[in-house]
Chain A
Amino acid sequence: MSAVMTSAASPGPAVEMDRIWRLLGSVMDPEIPVLSLVDLGVVRDVIATDTELEVVITPTYSGCPAMRVMEEGIVKQLHDNGYEHVQVKRVLSPPWTTDWITAEGHRKLLEYGIVPPAGAAGSKRGLWDEESGLRCPRCESERTCCVSDFGSTPCKALYRCEDCLEPFEYFKCL
């Protein structure tokens, strides 16, 4: 493990690193296919040595079944673009938080019909906390209510709009 490109002074490696991050930015989350792994904050670091690329990722939820597919997506994308030796390393610490979803990620989620996390994750730890006043992504009404804390994937909760009566998903704070 030597010659880490990120800290190199010459413009070459920096340009190269930009390209790698752009490639990673086009690997989509398998369950929310409008969000890239970079938007989601799952890709934590890229370390380049003389011989290989190491992509450091962190799981959203402990049991998230999409992790394996994400790893394969990363390796395939980099392989297809000329990086032969790619290692994906999983780290747990610091634990993933919805605070890492980028502003671009928030915008894409809402456009897709999923309400992005409201507020900072650390402020939502109370036993009785529940998001109220979430705006319906379809009719923008604020008369909405939580149907279930658990949705179609571990990261989402189910809500319903009391005005247009449509159900919608909320990306809950973690």
Chain B
Amino acid sequence: MSVTDANPVYDYVLGLGDNSLVLGQRLSEWCGHGPVLEEDIGLTNIALDLIGQARLLFSYAGELGGEGRTEDELAFLRDSCDFRNLLLVEQPNRDFGYTIARQFFFDAYNLALFERLCDSSDRRLAEIAAKSVKEITYHLRHSSRWMIRLGDGTDESHLRIQQALDNLWMYTGELFESDAVLEEVVTNGVGVAPETLRPVWNERVDEVLREATLQRPDDQWMTSGGRSGQHTEHLGYLLAEMQFLQRAYPGAAW
């Protein structure tokens, strides 16, 4: 299956699902490794929401694709070049600050996006968005608070969250880029033009960074390629672990 499938709505919905699944998988790596028990539970709760949202989106994509693919097939039997997720969400967890900075950038974007998708001309997508937006509100609240606690915390926490911010900044340009699939779904009212989300995102990011006494990095060279299947090396390792069982034992079921 290629990412330039004939049905742009399929590609679009699949891409949204890929964002949720990949970030959900990343967060689930924290299970049993959280810095404190509450955060172990918090991060994995967010992972659960994201994987739930991915399932809703993949089930719908499976119907749109016309080949009768199940959510499991879409999650476990595609290679990295077929994943349309943003590069940001596949970046490794590194430390807790890094995880929080990645989550904050994505939550601020995802909430702005899903709030708009509630008005999508595609009824099913609008329903999924209306369900998800309630959960994403809690995610953004959680990551915003941690940005502030770490930024306005000790010298060490401030230094590390600022470093995470600086290092991840190059992945934020892609959030607002468009491509052929997006242009098509925006034209028919199904999708949201990414560049129109930038003002809301900027406002939320600036508000939280100010409160957190953190510096917004200067706009620099931005990398991209996730939506066209050109990923960083990290996605391959993530998929290798996530897909292992279905690759080794095709069709295995509980």
Contacts and interface: CB of A to CB of B under 8 A. Distances in A.
Interface in B46-73: 46, 48-53, 55-56
Interface residues of B, number: 28
A150 B52 CA distance: 16
A148 interface: yes
Interface string A103-126: 000000000000000000100010
Contacts of A64: 48, 52
Interface stretch (B2-10, B37-45, B232-240): B37-45
Contacts of B50: 63
Interface stretch (A36-44, A49-57, A132-140, A151-159): A151-159
Given A92-B127, A127-B140, A127-B141, A61 B135 contact: yes
Contacts of A150: 38, 41-42, 45-46, 138, 142
Contacts of A129: 141
Nearest to A62: B52
Interface in B112-134: 127-128, 130-132, 134
Please classify how large the interface on chain A is, using the bins under 10, 10 to 19, 20 to 34, 35 or more: 20 to 34
B127 A93 contact: yes
Contacts, number: 76
B41 A148 contact: yes
Which secondary structure dominates chain B's binding surface? helix
A125 B42 CA distance: 19
Contacts of A151: 41, 45
Nearest to B137: A125
**Which of B49, B138, B144 has its CB near the most chain A CB atoms (within 10 A)?**
B138
A149 interface: yes
Interface of A: 59, 61-65, 92-97, 121, 125, 127-129, 147-152, 154, 158, 172, 174
